Chain A
Amino acid sequence: MNLTDAQQAMLDGGQGAAVRQAMQILRAVGLAKQAPYCIPVRSAHVGLSVTSLRDVGVRWLESLADDGARVCVPTTTNVLSIDREAVGASPRGDAELQQRALHALARMGAATTCSCNPFSQGYLPARGESVAWSESATAPFVNGVLGARTNREGATALASALTGITPCYGMHQTAERRGTAVFRVTAALAGLDGFHLLGAVVARRCADRIPVLVGLPSSIAQDDLYGFCAAFATYSSLSMFHMVGVTPEAPTLRAALGGGADAGRPRGRIETTQDPQRIQADTMDIGDRDLEAQRKAIDGLGGLPADVAVVGCPHVSLAQLREIALLMHGRAVSRDKTFFVHTNVVVRAEAARLGLLEKLVQAGVKVTCDTCVYTSLDTLSRHSRLLTNSSKMAFLMSSRGLSTALASTADCVRAMT
């Protein structure tokens, strides 16, 4: 991989130990992915949950900040393992550890926005720009909805934040973004849970081929796209999909498959033998039955009543919070039930200003900020029966041994009141 003089100087330690280590990470990843060079990034979104960082990772973040490391592009932060405002309520020493991680990132100049859904806070990379975003659910949205470019990042996102660059591979290369499988969607898709099911079905059926969806309306609500992307990322390691009429690079099916004016010259791993006509001929259908089959496949409740409902994976937007407030009108959460709504600091502040937050809290809804029941240190009992409108939440919590099932937002409200 070719490095510029400035990049080589960073690798040689000219900007301190933290930047040197960041460059070591990016160089090693670039070599592994056969990136020819590095390219600038316009923003980064970095993870800092202590459930993965642990004490060793937090001490490392603090050492970076002590070394004088500072982000050199706008940098947002992912979910925490605690609600900042409820720190005192947590008996765990890890809550203090989480505060230290957040403080270290803040010292490095990152915004303490703390959400898995930075889009709901107004952070929207522009079409064509390269960024380095962690949190798997953000990558399909950045690439497939916004037409910006990111690979699925982890520790590398912080390395990019500190250096302003990323190795040019994967989603940063036009040829790697092309669609290689076509799905015709005939399912009715009523509501967010429908899009969660669609994301899961597409991910499971496309395997390692980048899916192109046709037949969807071009006016899909942004909230439904968050859901689709989170579900897609849960069941697939891909960072890209195309929805014809939605994805900026997919005004037409032909463009999505690499035959349009938007397509760059073939380069990298995808070979030119992938004939758009042949791909089109193998079109697969996804109908209502497929979505219902997916809903049944992940149903772990088998008709038993849920005692916990979770909405907000990814974090709810203001529009979703309004919808929940409308659904809750005149209702209250039953005494033996717990209804979590997860959101972030920006949406919650606006909801408080509008009086929505107070109404929900008075009705017994637990509106959390910065975190969720999966990343939280205060985890739910394994015996909980959990209803959610999110495929991702259902998958994650069932992997922890809880019984889970997918339902619409309205059904989650009904089950808890």
Chain B
Amino acid sequence: MITRATKRAALRGTGLVAGVARGIARTCRDAVSVARIDPETGVLHEPGHALDGCCLAGGILVFPAGKGSSGGSYILMSLAAKKIGPIAIVMDVADAVVVAGAVLAGIPLVTGLGAEALGCINEGDRLLVDGGTGLVRFL
């Protein structure tokens, strides 16, 4: 059981791409296809998705799992080059598309938090993500 006390501390996952980022959590409970993020604007377009129409630039993207086209890796790379992508990614079940994309884009990535831990990160929480140690801290 993860309590508010846990929340004041930190969540631990596996750090897959090193780097530290501080920012606001953009969370959703559905799988995300990073290929659906517009590389010109940073806005996710997927009718019916919780983040449809949301600009993810400068946020920390928090979601359970990836899905969709493998071209998503290059979309993350394009977003990072234009500095309109997420500044860190926290996900539960990592997939090769997001992992490869995060490496290419240099986006700190923490995975494998577990569904319960991931669930206690709310939209708008201020987070510190350390992709080297795998720690996600609430600020």
Does B120 belong to the interface (CB within 8 Å)? no
Stretch binding the partner chain, chosen from A2-10, A27-35, A342-350: A27-35
CA distance A28 to B94 in the complex (A): 10
Does A24 belong to the interface (CB within 8 Å)? yes
A159 partner residues in chain B, CB cutoff 8 A: 100
Does B69 belong to the interface (CB within 8 Å)? yes
Residues A134 and B70 in contact, CB atoms below 8 Å apart: yes
Does B16 belong to the interface (CB within 8 Å)? yes
CA distance A358 to B8 in the complex (A): 72
CA distance A32 to B109 in the complex (A): 11
User: Known contacts being A32-B14, A56-B78, is A151 close to B71, with CB within 8 Å?
Assistant: no
Residues A136 and B70 in contact, CB atoms below 8 Å apart: yes
Would you give the 0/1 interface string for B1-22, flagging 1 where the beta carbon is closer than 8 Å to chain A? 0000000000000101100000
Does A385 belong to the interface (CB within 8 Å)? no
Would you give the 0/1 interface string for A46-61, flagging 1 where the beta carbon is closer than 8 Å to chain B? 0101011111110010
Does B64 belong to the interface (CB within 8 Å)? no
Does B139 belong to the interface (CB within 8 Å)? no
Does B137 belong to the interface (CB within 8 Å)? no
Q: Which of B69-88 contact A (CB under 8 A)?
A: 69-75, 77-78, 81-82
Among B14, B67, B103, find the residue whose CB has the most chain A CB atoms closer than 10 A: B103
User: How close is B62's CB to chain A, nearest CB, in angstroms?
Assistant: 16
CA distance A55 to B74 in the complex (A): 10
Residues B104 and A156 in contact, CB atoms below 8 Å apart: no
**Contacting B77 at CB < 8 Å: which of A32, A51, A56, A151?**
A56
B96 partner residues in chain A, CB cutoff 8 A: 29, 32-33, 151-154, 156
Does A237 belong to the interface (CB within 8 Å)? yes
**Contacting A47 at CB < 8 Å: which of B39, B71, B81?**
B71
Interface size on B, residues (CB 8 A): 30
Interface size on A, residues (CB 8 A): 28
**Contacting A153 at CB < 8 Å: which of B70, B103, B111?**
B70
Does B99 belong to the interface (CB within 8 Å)? yes
B97 partner residues in chain A, CB cutoff 8 A: 154-155
Does B129 belong to the interface (CB within 8 Å)? no
User: How close is B135's CB to chain A, nearest CB, in angstroms?
Assistant: 16
| B112 nearest CB neighbor, chain A only | A32
B74 partner residues in chain A, CB cutoff 8 A: 52-54, 56-57, 155
User: Known contacts being A52-B75, A57-B77, is A47 close to B100, with CB within 8 Å?
Assistant: no
Does A25 belong to the interface (CB within 8 Å)? yes
CA distance A53 to B77 in the complex (A): 9
Q: Which of A237-253 contact B (CB under 8 A)?
A: 237
Does B101 belong to the interface (CB within 8 Å)? yes
| B71 nearest CB neighbor, chain A only | A52
Q: Which of B39-77 contact A (CB under 8 A)?
A: 39, 67, 69-75, 77
CA distance A24 to B103 in the complex (A): 7
User: How close is A240's CB to chain B, nearest CB, in angstroms?
Assistant: 16
User: Known contacts being A28-B99, A153-B96, A154-B70, is A54 close to B104, with CB within 8 Å?
Assistant: no
**Contacting A154 at CB < 8 Å: which of B71, B78, B94?**
B71
A32 partner residues in chain B, CB cutoff 8 A: 14, 16, 94-96, 99, 111-112
Does B127 belong to the interface (CB within 8 Å)? no
CA distance A245 to B111 in the complex (A): 40
Would you give the 0/1 interface string for A153-184, flagging 1 where the beta carbon is closer than 8 Å to chain B? 11110010000000000000000000000000
CA distance A219 to B85 in the complex (A): 49
> Can you sample 6 A-B contacts with CB below 8 Å?
A29-B96, A32-B95, A51-B71, A57-B78, A154-B72, A154-B100
Further 11 A-B residue pairs, CB within 8 A, beyond A32-B96, A56-B77: A28-B102, A29-B99, A29-B100, A31-B14, A32-B112, A54-B39, A54-B75, A54-B78, A155-B74, A155-B101, A159-B100
Q: Which residues of A does B touch, CB under 8 Å?
A: 21, 24-25, 28-29, 31-33, 47, 49, 51-57, 60, 134, 136, 151-156, 159, 237
What are the 4 A-B residue pairs with the smallest beta carbon separation, nearest first?
A154-B70, A52-B71, A32-B94, A155-B73
